C-alpha cells in the first residue's frame, strides 16, 4: 500500500489480503496522516509502543522485574489500545479485573502507579498525549511494622541450617535488603576497615551505600572465607539466591514465629537500632533510605527524646503544688 500526503510518501503493508479491509485501512491511515500534517493532530501511539519505550528507558530501575509482571497482566487488556483511548472507565475496568485475581489493594495500586507513570511520561516527555486521565489509588490498610525481639531472633537462628543461619545473623547486624545480602561479593568487603559497600546500581535508591560492620558481622564474614571465590554467602559451592525456602519456613514454625517475612529482618534491625537510641537521621544513612519519611515508621519505638518534656511537666506541677501549699498556709496564719 502506498500513500502520499502533502508530498510525504509512505509505503507499508496492510496486514491483510482482504481487499475491502485493506482499502478501509488505507483510507483511515490517509485521514490520520492528513490530520497530522494539516491540523497538527498528534499521531496515535499504541499502549505497546509506550511499553517498549518505557522498558528501554528504565533498564536501571530496581523494581524492573515487578514492572514486567504488571505489564504482562496489562498486555491482556491494553494490547492494541491507543494511548488517547485510555480513560477513567478503562482504568476502572483494569482495577476490577486485577481485584478479581484475589490480590490486595496494595498490589492493584502498584499496577496503577505504573500505568500512571507511563502515561505521564508519554504526555510530558515524549509529547505523545495531550492529557492524562486522573488515576485514583485504592485505599490501603495501615500495616504495623513487623519485627521480632532478640529472644525470638535467637530462637530462629538456632532452628536454621548453617548456610541460612549465617546470612540471617548478618542481615540482623547490617539491615541489608535480601538482594544486597545474597549478592554481596568479596570485592565489596574490607575486613580491615570493617566496612562493606553496596554499589549504586545495586541499591534501591540508586545511591551507593556504605555498610559499617560490627564485630559480630566481621566474625560472620570471616567464617565464610574459602567457601566461594566471588560471593560471601554460598551453599554447597554455589551463591545463595533463594532464601524464602522450605527450610526458612520450617525454622520459623519451630521457633514459634508467625507472620514474618525475610524483609522483616530489615524492620527488626531498624527497630532494634531505634530502641537502642540511634537517631533517625543516622538510621536513614545506615539503611540507605532516600527519604526521611521511610525512617519515620520506626519513630514510635523510641520515646527517650520526649522524656525531658515529661519531666518538666511534673516539675512544673510540683512547683505549683508547693506554691499553693505556701499560699494556703499564709492565708490561714
pLDDT at res. 2: 55
pLDDT at res. 252: 96
- Mean pLDDT over 37-53 rounds to 78
Pick from 142-151, 255-264, 266-275, 300-309: least confident: 300-309
Residue with more model confidence, 256 or 204? 256
Q: Give the active site residues.
A: 177, 204, 263, 266, 289, 298
Entry pTM: 0.62
pLDDT at res. 5: 47
Residue with more model confidence, 143 or 52? 52
- Mean pLDDT over 170-180 rounds to 95
**Looking at the predicted structure, is the pLDDT value of residue 318 above 60?**
no
CB 105 within 8 A of CB 138: yes
| Mean predicted lDDT score pLDDT of the chain | 85
Residue with more model confidence, 28 or 236? 236
Model confidence band, residue 317 (pLDDT cutoffs 50, 70, 90) = low
**Looking at the predicted structure, is the pLDDT value of residue 34 above 60?**
no
- Mean pLDDT over 102-122 rounds to 95
What dihedral angle (degrees, nearest 10) is formed by the CA atoms of 111, 117, 118, 122?
Answer: 160
Q: What angle do CA 113, 115, 116 make, to 5 degrees?
A: 65
Nearest Cα to 265, choosing from 131, 145, 183, 107? 145
Q: What angle do CA 228, 218, 296 make, to 5 degrees?
A: 110
**Looking at the predicted structure, is the pLDDT value of residue 16 above 80?**
no
Question: How many CA atoms does the CB half-sphere of 38 hold within 13 Å?
Answer: 9
With residue 197 as reference, give the H or E element that holds it: strand 195-198
CA 69 to centroid of chain Cα atoms: 14
**Look-up: residue for cell 536513614?**
284
**Looking at the predicted structure, is the pLDDT value of residue 280 above 50?**
yes
Residue 25 DSSP symbol: H
Amino acid at each position: 500500500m502506498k500513500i502520499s500526503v502533502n508530498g510525504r510518501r509512505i509505503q507499508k503493508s496492510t496486514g491483510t489480503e482482504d481487499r475491502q479491509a485493506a482499502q478501509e485501512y488505507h483510507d483511515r491511515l490517509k485521514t490520520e496522516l492528513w490530520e497530522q500534517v494539516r491540523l497538527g493532530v498528534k499521531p496515535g501511539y499504541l499502549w505497546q509502543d509506550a511499553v517498549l519505550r518505557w522498558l528501554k528507558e528504565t533498564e536501571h530501575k530496581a523494581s524492573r522485574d515487578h514492572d514486567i509482571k504488571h505489564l504482562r497482566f496489562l498486555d491482556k487488556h491494553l494490547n492494541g489500545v491507543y494511548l488517547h483511548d485510555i480513560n477513567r472507565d478503562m482504568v476502572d475496568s483494569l482495577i476490577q479485573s486485577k481485584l478479581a485475581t484475589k490480590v490486595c489493594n496494595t498490589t492493584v495500586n502498584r499496577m496503577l502507579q505504573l500505568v500512571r507513570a507511563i502515561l505521564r511520561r508519554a504526555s510530558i516527555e515524549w509529547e505523545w498525549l495531550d492529557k492524562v486521565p486522573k488515576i485514583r489509588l485504592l485505599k490501603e490498610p495501615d500495616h504495623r511494622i513487623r519485627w521480632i525481639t532478640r529472644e525470638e531472633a535467637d530462637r530462629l537462628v538456632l532452628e536454621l541450617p548453617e548456610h541460612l543461619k549465617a546470612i540471617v545473623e548478618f542481615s540482623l547486624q547490617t539491615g541489608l535488603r535480601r538482594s544486597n545480602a545474597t549478592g554481596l561479593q568479596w570485592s565489596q568487603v574490607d575486613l580491615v576497615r570493617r566496612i562493606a559497600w553496596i554499589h549504586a546500581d545495586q541499591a534501591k535508591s540508586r545511591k551507593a551505600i556504605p555498610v559499617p560492620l560490627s564485630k559480630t558481622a566481621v566474625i560472620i564474614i570471616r567464617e565464610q572465607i574459602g567457601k566461594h571465590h566471588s560471593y560471601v554467602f554460598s551453599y554447597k559451592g554455589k551463591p545463595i539466591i533463594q532464601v524464602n525456602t522450605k527450610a526458612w519456613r520450617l525454622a520459623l514454625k519451630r521457633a514459634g514465629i508467625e507472620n514474618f517475612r525475610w524483609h522483616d529482618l530489615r524492620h527488626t534491625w531498624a527497630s532494634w537500632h531505634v530502641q537502642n537510641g540511634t537517631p533517625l537521621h543516622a538510621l536513614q544513612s545506615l539503611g540507605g533510605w532516600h527519604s526521611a519519611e521511610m525512617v519515620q515508621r520506626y519513630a514510635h519505638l523510641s520515646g527517650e527524646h520526649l522524656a525531658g518534656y515529661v519531666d518538666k511537666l511534673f516539675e512544673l506541677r510540683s512547683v505549683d503544688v508547693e506554691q499553693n501549699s505556701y499560699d494556703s498556709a499564709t492565708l490561714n496564719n
